[in-house]
Every structure is written in structure tokens, then in C-alpha cells.
Amino acid sequence: MKKLKKIPNFKNEDEEFEFWSTHDFMDYFDWNSAVANPDMNELMKGNLVPRETVSIAPSIARKIKARAKKLRLPVDTLVSQYLQQGLSSSRL
């Protein structure tokens, strides 16, 4: 097994783009440490929940992002919880 090269730190995306334009990714990545993308596995099994796009006011989006960060949750998880709570407390 050949020794892998260390990926440098980049100052910006342009610098990173230039680097990868002239270097081979295979010199820097160990395929033995690769893991399967869990979302892709679920997609292949047909277990992913469909996603919807909803427009919300920027001020509300900022509040949701801040709350999700404070709770250490992904934004979509927090929004899903809010929707579940709202639906369970309303009479539809």
C-alpha cells in the first residue's frame, strides 16, 4: 500500500480548485476508510422521506437556524418537529 499524501489547507475555493485541477485525488484518499452514504443506502431501499420546499420569511429562517444550532439539530429535523407539533395540536 502506497503512502497517502496530506491534503493541504486552502485559503479559498479558488486555491482548492487550482490544487485539484493539477493533482490526482487517488494520491490523497484511502478507499479502505470509505463509508457508504447512509442516505444513498436508504434511497436505494426506498426508505427516504420525500422532501418538500417551503418558502418562509428570512426573519423566521434566521430564528429557526439559530434555534437548530443552539439545540445542535439539523434545520430540517427541527422544522419537521415543529410541523409535527403544529399538526398534532390543530384540528384538520
Q: Which amino acid is at 80?
A: S
Max CA distance (Å), the chain: 63
Q: Please tell me the pTM assigned to this model.
A: 0.46
**Going by C-beta distance under 8 Å and a sequence separation of 6 or more, which residues neighbour residue 71?**
78
Distance CA 28, CA 34 (A): 12
Residues of the chain with CATH 1.10.1220: 48-92
Give the pLDDT band of residue 36 (cuts 50, 70, 90): low
The separation between CA 58 and the C-alpha centre of its own chain, rounded to angstroms, equals 21
Q: For 4, left (φ over 0), alpha (ψ -120 to 50), or beta?
A: beta
CATH assignment of 48-92, given 1.10.1220, 1.10.20, 3.40.1000, 1.20.5?
Answer: 1.10.1220
pLDDT digits (tens, 9 = 90+) for 65-90: 999 999 998 898 899 899 988 888 87
